[in-house]
Amino acid sequence: MKTFTYLSVCLLTLLLGGLSLQIDTDLHLNQQWQLLVSPNSAHSFADIFFVESQLPRLAVTLLVGAMLGMVGSLMQQLTQNNLTSPLTLGTSSGAWLALVIVNIWFVDWVADYSALAAMIGAIAAFGLIVAIAGIRNMMGLPLIVSGMVVNILLGSIAAALVALNQQFAQNIFMWGAGDLAQNSWEWFNWLLPRVSIALLVVLFAPRVLTLLRLGQDGAQARGLSVLPAFALLMVIGIWLVSVSITAVGLISFIGLLTPNIARSLGARTPREELLSSLILGAALLLITDSLAMWLSVSLSTTIPSGVAAAAIGAPALIWFSRQRVASASDRVNMTMSESSTPISRFVILLIATFGVLGILAYSFISLGDTSSIFSLPGEFQWQLRWPRMLTALSVGVALAVAGIILQRVVYNPLASPDILGVSSGATFAIIVLGVVSGSLLSALSWGVAFAGSLSVLLLLLLLGRKSNYNPSNFILSGIALTALLQALVQFTLAQGTGDSYKTLLWLTGSTYRVTASHALVLAMAVSVLLVVVFGISRWLTLISVGREFATARGLSSAKVSGVSLAIVALMCAFATATMGPVSFVGLVAPHMASMLGAKTIKTQLVTGALIGATLMIWADWAGQALIYPNQIAAGTLVATLGSGYFLLLMLKGKFR
């Protein structure tokens, strides 16, 4: 890489640093330089604010940005995967869960052991991903999909812990949004010695990375112990990410973007890529933070830097995901197996029986009465139970049917409303309207949710058409949109309004606030949509064979896709507006139906709907019974079980 490129980037960084100090300050540039030279000369409020707030913020921003950029390059070179980052590897979620646990149950350890806890959580998450994807599948989609599932799993557990400990919610909201604001030099002084190990990466990692480019056999032939070197460098990278997250919270995409930008600028050797990613990371986070500060001043509200980073990074992830991925990248270690024999009526009846047993347990098992486990519910108890029970059943049916339709229309066995961001679109639309209107409850409208879901679907289809609906690009687009929407949701939660905790409970997918009228509207809407789906079952059969096949038989594939995806958006809208976002039902239920032998569309719809309803009714009941009188939201429990099931499938495929 040419020297003039390094100098240009360094100059850009300094220029942006000077510009960022102009935001929200009355000091002239010469006064700022005087305070930089002699900080003890600060006397006025503006001087003290500059020295104790803006300068530490600038220093922390440059330091964290540099670390995230360099670690992103390190991880991408180690895995030889241009889409690897702390975000896609699940290490951020592991660190988040560990910090949540420490802040809730080990308060005395927060000051001294937060960084260590974050590192342990991040390493555990990465170890789980490696165990699932396999050390030889670090170059493609298996690694990214594994990271996505681990993110959902650990994020669901963390959200459940926060929901059960309301007193910690607000601080974690702000931390989750990524906050670079400083009120002293304390965090910079804490962070600087802990990231000094990065010097070892700059000095010694380039030779290791150069040898790794020769392949595992080539590197071993030249005397490199591949696995120990890989593990050591990855642990150092995870440590740098962990201490950065501990200091400023979750800031996504910096580690993903900077190495790709560095390579596009001409970085070719490992050393050039590491150094340029380090400088570009500092510059990019500085741009992001300056944008966040400018928006905060313009809108008279606090815009966390993590939200601005997600707003910039999500479109960039979509852009980079559109680049050609190696053919191995589409081989996900999960076998979408189908039974060789059609499903029998006995199996369908058995699934329905489990669902009925769930309804009976929900109706007649008294959680609070220690004298008698089984009892007839009183009128008041029944008025509380039946809306929740009906909601759980309806949501299970809606999401299972939506998943079946999506998988057939886009020809992707990994397609589901939550993975593709369809549910996140509904969630974001509802929360934004809730913030604008001042109340989440007033925003819980299926029309608003439908607009959000349909917008995401249309965007995904537009992006997927150019890549011929390539599974890698399609899924990565969904991941990017979901990450962006989640960052924006964190921003709304961090505002600290009276509805923040209610919003959190709703985001976990709980039936606790569902009224009788809401449950009835949901059930009727799902029933009507289900009738429509069975009415177009022939369309779905033809289009699942192929668009050209359907067109040759006089069917308009565009019309079928439009109607089908509108039904998916409506299903997700009603379910999300009533209960909140629920993950994995739309993926697990269709897959289990196929595995049991449901081959025709009608059989798959019936079987998948029964599986979804059964899963949801038992999850909602177990969430109320496991830690009574406290409750675990059904959405959290389903996300945990579903992601665990998904990971087991991938492990099974790897061992095969």
pLDDT digits (tens, 9 = 90+) for 42-57: 556 566 666 777 788 8
Q: Is the pLDDT of residue 461 over 90?
A: no
Q: Residue 115 corresponds to which tokens in the numbers above?
A: 């960084």
Domain limits, the chain: 3-323, 345-652
Give the separation between CA 360 and CA 631, rounded to whole angstroms: 19
Mean pLDDT of 504-518: 79
Q: Is the pLDDT of residue 73 over 80?
A: yes
pLDDT tier at 524, thresholds 50, 70, 90: very high
Lowest-pLDDT choice from 133-147, 207-221, 608-622: 133-147
Of all residues in the chain, what percent carry a pLDDT higher than 70?
Answer: 72
Rg (CA), the chain: 26
Q: What is the pLDDT of residues 528-570, one digit of tens each?
A: 999 999 988 888 888 877 777 777 877 777 778 778 888 888 8
pLDDT tier at 335, thresholds 50, 70, 90: very low
**Residue 365, beta-bridge partner list:** 374
**What pLDDT is attached to residue 137?**
60
Q: Give the angle 317-322-325 at the CA atoms, nearest 5°.
A: 105
**What pLDDT is attached to residue 385?**
82
Q: What is the pLDDT of residues 145-158, one digit of tens each?
A: 777 778 777 877 77
Please state, rounded to an integer, the average pLDDT across all residues of the chain: 76
pLDDT tier at 440, thresholds 50, 70, 90: low
Class of domain 3-323: mainly alpha
Give the separation between CA 116 and CA 576, rounded to whole angstroms: 37
DSSP string, 82-108: TT-STTTTTHHHHHHHHHHHHHHH-GG
DSSP string, 397-425: HHHHHHHHHHHHHHT-TT--TTTTTHHHH
Lowest-pLDDT choice from 22-36, 77-91, 162-176, 212-226: 22-36
pLDDT tier at 394, thresholds 50, 70, 90: very high
Q: What is the pLDDT of residues 418-432, one digit of tens each?
A: 766 777 777 777 777
**What pLDDT is attached to residue 400?**
92
Give the separation between CA 577 and CA 41, rounded to whole angstroms: 56
**What pLDDT is attached to residue 45?**
59
Give the separation between CA 255 and CA 252, rounded to whole angstroms: 7
User: How many CA atoms lie within 13 Å of 394's alpha carbon, on the beta-carbon side?
Assistant: 30
Q: Is the pLDDT of residue 641 over 60?
A: yes
Question: Which CATH superfamily does the domain covering 345-652 fall into?
Answer: ABC transporter involved in vitamin B12 uptake, BtuC (1.10.3470.10)
Q: Residue 205 corresponds to which tokens in the numbers above?
A: 């990692």
Between the alpha carbon of residue 30 and those of residues 18, 33, 56, 512, the distances in Å are 11, 5, 19, 59
Lowest-pLDDT choice from 7-16, 48-57, 110-119, 278-287: 7-16
Cis geometry, peptide bond prior to residue 304 (ω within 30 degrees of 0)? no
Q: What is the pLDDT of residues 469-485, one digit of tens each?
A: 555 566 666 667 666 76
**What pLDDT is attached to residue 220?**
79
Domains 3-323 and 345-652 share a fold: yes
Mean pLDDT of 93-119: 79
**What pLDDT is attached to residue 386?**
86
Q: Is the pLDDT of residue 139 over 60?
A: no
